[in-house]
Amino acid sequence: MKKLKMAVFLVILLAITCVSFSMQANADEIKTMKLYKLENPTWLNNAGLGKGIGHDKQDLGIILPANVELEIRQVNPKFTENLGMALLNDDSRTEKNVSITSSWTKVSHTFTTVPFIYTTFGSEAPIIEFKLTNAMKALPNYMQGDAEADFFKDWDSTDAEFALIKSRYFQILVSEKDKAYMKKMPHFKTISELCDYYTHAFEKYNELAGLSFTPENPTDKNIPNKYFMKADKSSVGSNYAYYGGSHTAASGDTVEPFLSTSLLALHEIGHGYQGAFNDGSFTTNEVWNMLYAWTYNNSVWKKDTSEAGIAAAKSAQKFKDDTMDEWWHTTDKKPVNDWGDYPKQEYLLLFLEKSGDKGLTTFNQEYRKLANTKGFVANEHYLLDLVSKYFGQASGFDFTPVIQTSGGVMSKVQQEENRAKGYTAVAPLVELVPASKLETIQNLLGLKSYLNFVDTEQLAKSGLSGTATIHLDIDDLAQVKGQYLTIKNGKKEVKKVEITGKDISLGTLPNGIYTIDAPTGKTAKYSLDNYYLRVKETTNECTIKYTPKTMGSIVNQTIQFLGIGDGQFSSATVKLDQGKLAVTTNSTTPHDYFADVVYAKLEVLDTNGAVVYTKSMTGKNNVVDKAEIDIKAGYKLRIYHAEPGRLKVNGANIVDTSKQINTFIITNKGLVNESLKNNPEENLITKINEEAAKIQANTSIANAANSEMKDDVWLAIQQLSEPTKTQLLEKYAELIPEIEVAEEMEEPYLSISITAPSKLSLAKDSFSGKYGADIVAVKLLAEGRIVQVATLNPINHTYTFSDLISKRIRFTDTVSIIGYDARGSEMHQLELEITQ
């Protein structure tokens, strides 16, 4: 049976060969070709995944010599799209593109080329007719699986200037110059081995990208397009290549780099597997593709296992580690976005090593889902937010501490989501082990680098431990006193301590990194700057800084400056909750068409109209920098953009694109465009609803006792006018914290009096009131039994009762509050109505 199949295969192969190379025997004939079409992968386009889709093209089986005419037309009446043909060789300056219509078109060029028809993506496939003449040459074709000897025999006999190597995933246009090299390739014994190498590479890349020809989710569907690789004499640079929309090319007159196991080809192929997530806070233009290249290369690379080879590898690794560590952990540290391409690549590979390949696969699949949702805007998502979210989803690890210490940009919202899911925190080994024991523990754990991410359970093998103390840097201890601070390792509760003072002793803990669950305030709300405890030395101290919040981060807005290709070159974030405007400019060439003229300009005006900050940005030679400017409500932002359609405000359509100058007034509810007179409250309501929906979708956050996200929803609602304010408070009553705001409490009418809510809900864990100047103690009683003595704040004369749910107050109890003077005498008593 096998012999029969082989015989049939040889007959078919002979027939194909005869068709391909019999043009001179059948000159001046009209040949008809029905071309294949591909499905238009909008789900990939939306995510910015090029994947060589524009490379796919179909050869006519001919070489068109210089000044020889080719007559061609499209004859399918149902095909109504544009159809293009490329005349390609090994020099982009001597190539040509032409259009094909239903009429006979004569095509020629002054240089020898190979004609290819660009593959279409519509509902109908084109059918073409073209005239063969004796002046044309047959294009030698090698399809993966063909007999190599026959291929070279045909090529040698025709003396063709070019040949084409084909497989399921790629095509390589090879010039005659490379024929001898192909016959004796250093890295491959045969063309078949070359094809296998690339086939496995593409299949690995597709696996990492989460793509399949039989997907479970529609956004993971792959299409059978082919990459196109060639040489380009006009491409500058040595040992250099590029990835373009219609092909990827090796610099120079040879495709030798593509006929080897060089990382160059893997690097360029990887460009097609990048996405639209390259935001200005963490640029990865020449980095992200290397995640694919290194992953595949490491799977096929034969390591030098000799003693000298191992020593050399360790030495090289230490050099890389020391360089990154200097930027990461020393006094000369700089943010990860400023590290350069190669260190960024090593940085991202550390994520991949900890999460496994599934981390990158999950990232890609989830990003495509996100990118295909209505209203998606790529620039509105920090890349490191997405990395921590999806790599964490795949692995169960919380990468937030890593990103924070490396100076990466993350949103507070994503940080809280990562903690709420109970992911296990990780950190570089060097952050968790004393320097004197670092090498020993690295070897014990079998880690390649001392920067490898480790978790606490992984470190248990070391047997190291230390004592830990947490200091609370807070202006009013009463806001957290009596509440609990919890230390966690992932979802596991390690220690829970009642807050009685600003310094909290945790005793001895195994070396590692722990997540801190801390209260955010009772009557006032705070932003915490640290949620992680590192145990590294024998004794360890950690400080949490509490910063009071008045309006939260929901009211903040980011203005995006976009340039050529809609790439973001600068941003200005209004952080009204912090009283700051953060300006970041990250591109030296916003738009090279505008050269050295001002392409965009930002001015900050104070309440008197005086300019307090100016940033001018030229099209080329632009200054890259960062700045923070003090602002407050009433300040204005005057912005010039030469192309106002490329000025965006995150989440709001408030740019007047008919004017190059837009002036925005900063208000407590958001930005107001002086020209458009927009209502900022409308946008704020939308943002509140969106944030509340995120919380509701995450049961861990929705049920959390401490949540800055929930606090921010409550604080944002306070900025709204009535009746909207009350309506949203009622809508999200079960979601947001029940807070009594000290500033809005009724003042005591005498120095010996107290105030209190008229009702006390048994579902409420705390409440506050005011006390007069002569009151020194306030007590809560149930049926005459003292339930709790209140915490007093002498600065604003506010008392607070907390942790009431555990005090066993019953619905039938008579509950009262009593204020006492310095002699211990009862000065004022109020009775509360109990509700369930």
Residue 239, pLDDT score? 57
Residue 7, pLDDT score? 40
End-to-end CA distance of the chain: 83
Whole-model pTM: value is: 0.82
Nearest to 557 by CA among 652, 635, 661, 685: 652
Residue 564, pLDDT score? 92
Give the residue, 405 or 587, on which the prediction is more confident. Answer: 405
Q: Is residue 331 over pLDDT 50?
A: yes
Q: d(Cα 735, Cα 730) in Å, to the nearest integer? A: 10
Q: d(Cα 215, Cα 219) in Å, to the nearest integer? A: 8
Q: Is residue 706 over pLDDT 60?
A: yes
Residue 19, pLDDT score? 39
Query: Which strands form 826-835's sheet, in the order they lie side by side?
Result: 759-761, 826-835, 815-820, 777-782, 785-789
What are the tens digits of pLDDT across the range 363-374? 999 999 999 999
- Rg, Å, the chain Cα set: 34
What are the tens digits of pLDDT across the range 216-255? 999 999 999 999 999 999 987 655 899 999 999 999 999 9
Helix axes 288-300, 191-208, angle to 10 degrees: 130
- Cα separations in angstroms, 69 against 24, 60, 130, 133: 15, 14, 11, 9
Give the residue, 12 or 835, on which the prediction is more confident. Answer: 835
What's phi and psi for 354, nearest 5 deg? -75, -35
Q: Is residue 53 over pLDDT 80?
A: yes
How would DSSP label each residue in 344-413?
HHHHHHHHHHHH-HHHHHHHHHHHHHHHTSTT--GGGS-HHHHHHHHHHHHHSEE-HHHHHHTT----HH
Helix axes 288-300, 341-355, angle to 10 degrees: 60
Q: How confident is the model at residue 740 (pLDDT cuts 50, 70, 90)?
A: very low
Q: Which two tokens stand for residue 782?
A: 């149930």
Residue 739, pLDDT score? 58
Once rounded to an integer, what is the mean pLDDT over residues 65-94? Answer: 97
Q: Is residue 742 over pLDDT 70?
A: no
Q: Which two tokens stand for residue 18?
A: 């005869």
Once rounded to an integer, what is the mean pLDDT over residues 761-786? Answer: 85
Q: Is residue 141 over pLDDT 80?
A: yes
What are the tens digits of pLDDT across the range 470-479? 999 999 999 9
Q: d(Cα 213, Cα 507) in Å, to the nearest integer? A: 55
Residue 25, pLDDT score? 40
Q: Is residue 21 over pLDDT 60?
A: no
What are the tens digits of pLDDT across the range 285-318? 999 999 999 999 988 876 656 667 667 777 778 8
For the chain, the average pLDDT equals: 91
Residue 586, pLDDT score? 87
Other C-beta atoms lying within 10 Å of the C-beta of residue 566: 13
Residue 305, pLDDT score? 61
Q: What is residue 328's three-state secondary structure?
A: helix
To the nearest whole percent, how much of the chain has pLDDT over 90?
72
Once rounded to an integer, what is the mean pLDDT over residues 429-439? Answer: 97
What are the tens digits of pLDDT across the range 350-399? 999 999 999 999 999 999 999 999 989 888 899 999 999 999 999 999 99
Q: Say if CB 556 and CB 716 are below 8 A apart.
A: no
What are the tens digits of pLDDT across the range 607-642? 999 999 999 999 999 999 999 999 999 999 999 999
Residue 27, pLDDT score? 55
Q: How confident is the model at residue 735 (pLDDT cuts 50, 70, 90)?
A: confident
Helix (H) or strand (E) holding 129: strand 127-131
Lowest mean pLDDT among 34-38, 191-195, 587-591: 587-591
Q: How confident is the model at residue 802 (pLDDT cuts 50, 70, 90)?
A: confident
What are the tens digits of pLDDT across the range 560-570? 999 998 888 99
Residue 375, pLDDT score? 87
Lowest mean pLDDT among 290-294, 451-455, 731-735: 731-735
Q: Is residue 499 over pLDDT 60?
A: yes
Helix (H) or strand (E) holding 427: strand 427-428
Phi-psi region of 322 (alpha: psi -120 to 50; beta: other; left: phi over 0): alpha
Q: How confident is the model at residue 346 (pLDDT cuts 50, 70, 90)?
A: very high
Residue 309, pLDDT score? 66
Once rounded to an integer, what is the mean pLDDT over residues 479-494? Answer: 96
Lowest mean pLDDT among 23-37, 128-142, 163-177, 432-446: 23-37
Quote the Cα angle for 829-833-835, to 5°.
150
Q: Evaluate the omega torsion of the peptide bond into residue 434 and state whether it is cis, within 30 degrees of 0.
A: no
Residue 2, pLDDT score? 39
